[in-house]
Structure 1
Amino acid sequence: MKRMRLKIFMITAFAGLVTLSGCKKFLEEKSQSDVIPKTAIDYRELLMGSGYMDNSEPMGFVYFLDDDVDLFWEYANGEATVIGTNPAIQYFPLFTWQPRLADRNGLGDLIAEDPGSTAYFRYYKWIMGCNAVLENIDQSIGSQQEKDRVKAEALAVRALYYFRLVNLYGEPYTQNPQALSIPLKLNSGIVAGSMPQATVAEVYNRVVADLKEASRLMDALPIVRKDYHINQPAIHILLSRVYLYMEKWDESRAEADKVFEQGGQIANLTGYTTTWLNYNNPEVEWLFGGNTQPNQTTYVPSIPFRATFDPKDVRINVGIQVQDRSLTPLVSKLPIGLDLAQTLRTPEALLNRAEANVKLNNPGPALKDLNDLRRNRIIGYTDVNITDKDQLLQAIREERRKEFCFEGFRWFDLRRYGMPEITHRYQNALGESIQEFKLAAKDPMYTLPFPNSLLIRNPELKQNASGTMPERVGH
């Protein structure tokens, strides 16, 4: 029994993720309870507590990186409300893609001195929780169906974390699949020494393998919705996304089809007046994680992006609301407080399928999917007929941008689109010139630098080129 307890709760990070004192603290926290997992239900609860994301989001910082966000430029009573303020300065390194963005904020504060504060560490901590469950679930007490559901959930959730990590710290799959990315840790045991990095392709292959096995185990079981556990349609949405990033169009389309075969639906949301990132929305298959937007009033939806919405598109009214007094355009689609704020929902399957169909030279079904989604988002919408394939692809990608804005999609999508040039404007203080900062096409910063605290603790981690660039200067 003692050995069993150690095996379950020694979910320790490999060297390079935590120090020994960090491991000790983790073990002490986990050993407070005398409850030892025995049944499949116990392991499902352990997975929910140690493997599933809580109501935080480690990679919320990507909000500042893409082309949907801008510094607040509106004026109230003749005065700029945020230019030169601490919040504006704090996120300057992220907003202007500085090589120090992983280590210091614009105020000069160390932000990743403790590796436990990094997105890298936090995702791996949840991965370790998944690994512990996967190692022990087969020996638990319970029916095979109960064990299969727990195993499938652990595999799928772990796959999501690795997908995010490889898209933060590895090059885009279609650009350089053999580039080094992140370590693959597939068990909960202690590793003596540091761990080497796997290639981008190796991580993607593991993600696909985990999701395929998760769907094999779960598809034979009854579909359960709205219980905060990942379910069958959500797994197929995620697998469709991964295949899309790999440009495996047939596979992406096939996985998207399965979502609708399993009861996924596109709902008419033109009557919604509040956030639809919750289980009140029939499109939501899985609700999880925390807010993807760290700053509400300083870095706001950009004017060019807001201009792309049809005035009768409910997503602009529900998702981005301009405050009367300050004229500040705020992101209002995201829940506030401690509510869970992220979803896997059926519109992604529809748009994944539409994009794949264009690439497979099937523009008819792609156009139908595009019109179907718009009809359920834009009041009084009239179907369009787009005959040019390039224009249709662009329209589908713009629809994806609107549907999932500020949910952590855009930065990853820009990477897979070929890493285009984008710019941000920044002003240090009122009266000073406005500077333009450029992220060049295929810029190394599209692959983020590792925090130095991680490099110190894991000597086998090789810093990405973005971490050795000179300071980026505005013009």
Structure 2
Amino acid sequence: MNFLMKRYSTILLAPVLMMSVSCSKLLDIPETDMIQGQDALKTVSNCEQAVIGAYGALGVEMPILLNATFSDEVKKSEFYNAATTHEWQYSSVDVGIRDNFTAMRPNYRIIDRANRVLAAVPEADSLKPADNTALRNRVKGEALFLRAFAHLEVFRYYCDKYSAEGLAMPYKEIASLDGEARIKMAPYFDKLIRDVTEAKNLLPASFAGDGINRATKAAATALQARILLYKNDWAGAEAAATEYITQKPLSPIAEFGDLWKDKNTNEVVFQLVRTTAIRLGSLWRNTSASAANIGTVTWMPTDKLWNTFDPVNDVRFAAYLKDEPLLSTKGRPSKIVAKYAGTDYGTANENVNNAKVFRTGEMYLIRAEARAEQNRFTGANSAESDLNALRAARIRNYVNVTLASKQAAIDAIMLERFKELAFEGHRFWDLKRKGLPVERLAAEAPSTAAVTLPAGNYRFLLPIPNVEIQANKLMEQNPGYAN
């Protein structure tokens, strides 16, 4: 970890001071927008600015692309240069892994910033007569939330499905340049749960002016539910998901499509605002020169996913997918991912869409799975009732189903997660944590070797980057990969 921490030990504060000076004097002037170490965090306000900087490092683009291309959500289209990742042929030195799916750097950067705030905020403003307790607690809560969020992301990339004795990652609790060894999953999840629980107690119910762009109690509840899902703590996951659902109900069916056009924030308690600097929709299709010249389609939805939807009655179909006649008339692949499409082809905000980090649809599926795993698969307050409620909010003229067994419930939930959470960064990791294979249609696989990734295959765990192994002598590589 020392390799990473050396890069990210500086705290950047906003706003940047702008100065006009002659070139001859430039080298003699110290940087005034960069303050080293804890000198940057002497006030609670400074700590808040550092937390905002940590938010700026959050991203969902990498996990969204990974889960789509490593699983059965997308297939190659007009441009294909991801053979090693899409076909599960990556190694610890593979350029595709290094350039596209390096979770160590961004997440431990967030963790480092959070840890610096957590070290400084108790004594910040200590010389002032008035102690802004509310702001201090809020900033601490945000830092704990971010630390837990980033540690869960690292776990999802590099660790196997949960077992108490399984190998997790280092859990960084202080800002340090020293390398740390990986720890077992039981203590790792104890730390995750501790951090998110404390964050939840400190965070406000809402942020005036910031809405859902910063962590609140509801966001911490959602993170808690996701953590407990990965830990297989079914009673805890059910309780947290229920708490979320009580606060944030499912979107009215007529408004669901507008959620993906940023016309409402139904179901969402935490989002990452996106502008033209980061275009979520460009994961699947390049921006267009004009309506008549649609950008190159890099990834298209699989028929396996496409055919799971009722295209007439399921409002998710039109919100997520599109068969574009402007492409088919030119002989180009016409089935495209419409989720995150932004405004019209060739317009300024094409492919621009805010990233929905936590929303109610996921919470219903977490609760349904938790209830099924507790053998409550049918009747009131069961997996069946949750699935029926979610589908009724997505499918016109929906008729309730009855689930006959626990396994039938689990199968139905996995299918519903495939549909509801498509292109949101869950599918590959869902298959891993449930011990299931990736199974593509033979006609959609780029090679015969890329049809199936068997359940439990070591490639469900990404390799620890070789540079990290070299820099941190305590770091242990994942099975199956050479250093």
Q: Which TM bucket (shorter chain)?
A: 0.7 to 0.9
Q: Please name the residue that 2:57 is paired with.
A: 53
Distance 2:362 2:57 in 1: 21
Q: How far, CA to CA, are the matches of 1:239 and 1:230 in structure 2? A: 12
Unmatched 5+ stretches in structure 1: 1-13, 73-81, 106-110, 470-475
User: Which ranges in structure 2 are unaligned for 5 or more consecutive residues?
Assistant: 17-30, 126-130, 286-296, 343-350
In 2: Cα distance, 1:447 partner to 1:401 partner: 20
**1:23 CA displacement:** 5.8
Is residue 278–residue 287 contact of structure 1 (8 Å, CA) maintained in 2?
Answer: no
Could you say which residue in structure 1 is the equivalent of 2:371? 357
Which of 410, 417, 435 aligns to 2:427? It is: 410
- 1:93 pairs with 78, 81, 84, which one? 84
- Pairs within 5 Å for 1:274-423: 274-276=258-260, 278=262, 280-288=264-272, 291=280, 294-296=283-285, 297-311=297-311, 312-324=313-325, 325=327, 326-334=332-340, 337=351, 339-362=353-376, 363-364=378-379, 365=381, 366-423=383-440
> 1:233 Cα shift?
1.4
Equivalent pairs counted in the alignment come to 423
Amino acid at match of 2:215: I
The partner residue of 1:138 within 119, 122, 131 is: 122
Question: Per the alignment, in what secondary structure is the counterpart of residue 48 of structure 1?
Answer: helix
Q: Distance in 2 between matches of 1:401 and 1:200?
A: 26
| Aligned residue among 57, 69, 72 for 1:67 | 72
1:199 and 2:184 equivalent? Answer: yes
* TM-fit CA distance, 1:283: 0.7
Specify whether residues 165 and 95 from structure 1 end up closer, same or farther in structure 2 by C-alpha distance, changes over 3 A only: same
Alignment RMSD, CA only? 3.2
Within-5 A mapping of 1:425-436:
436=450
Of 441, 444, 451 in structure 1, the residue corresponding to residue 458 of structure 2 is 444
For each residue in 1:143-162, what CA deviation from the matched residue of structure 2 results, as whole angstroms up to 9, or x when unmatched?
A: 32222221111111211111
Change (3 A) 1:265 1:427: closer
Deviations 1:108-133 (Å, cap 9, x if unpaired)?
Answer: xxx638xx983211111111111111
- Which residue in the other structure is 1:158 paired with? 147
2:258 and 2:450 map into 1 onto residues whose CA distance is: 35
**Residue 17 of structure 1 aligns to a residue in which SS?**
helix
Q: Could you tell me which residue of structure 2 aligns to residue 8 of structure 1?
A: none
1:439-460 CA-to-partner distances (Å, cap 9, x unmatched) read 1221111111122222222222
Aligned to 2:230: 245
CA distance in 1: counterparts of 2:172 and 2:83, whole angstroms: 33
Distance 1:202 1:425, change over 3 A: farther
User: Structure 1 length as normaliser, TM-score?
Assistant: 0.80
Distance 2:186 2:85 in 1: 27
Contact 1:277/1:343 (8 A) holds in 2: no
1:289-336 per-position Cα deviation (integer Å, ceiling 9, x unaligned): 763973432332110111111221111111111222234322221255
Of residues 436-445 and 332-341 in structure 1, the stretch that sits farther from structure 2 once superposed is: 332-341
The CA deviation at 1:38 is: 4.3
Partner AA of 2:98 in structure 1: A
Q: Distance in 1 between matches of 2:422 and 2:104?
A: 23
Normalised by the size of structure 2, how large is the TM-score? Answer: 0.78
Cα distance per residue 1:374-419 (max 9 Å; x no partner) = 1111122222233333222222222222111111111111111113
Of the three residues 457, 469, 472, the one matched with 2:471 is 457
1:180-219 equivalences under 5 Å are 180-191=167-178, 194-218=179-203
Aligned to 1:285, the other structure's residue is in SS state strand
Alpha-carbon distance change, 32 to 251 in structure 1, aligned in 2, over 3 angstroms: same
Kept in 2: contact 1:62–1:408 (CA 8 A): yes
- Bigger relative CO (Cα 8 Å, ≥ 6 apart): 1
8 Å CA contact 2:284–2:337 kept in 1: the answer is: no
Cα pair 2:340 2:352 within 8 Å, conserved: no
Aligned identity (percent) is 25
Q: Residues 149 and 27 (structure 1 numbering): CA distance in 2 closer, same or farther, change over 3 Å?
A: closer
Q: Do 1:65 and 1:94's aligned partners in 2 also have CA atoms closer than 8 Å?
A: yes
TM superposition shift of 1:57: 3.4
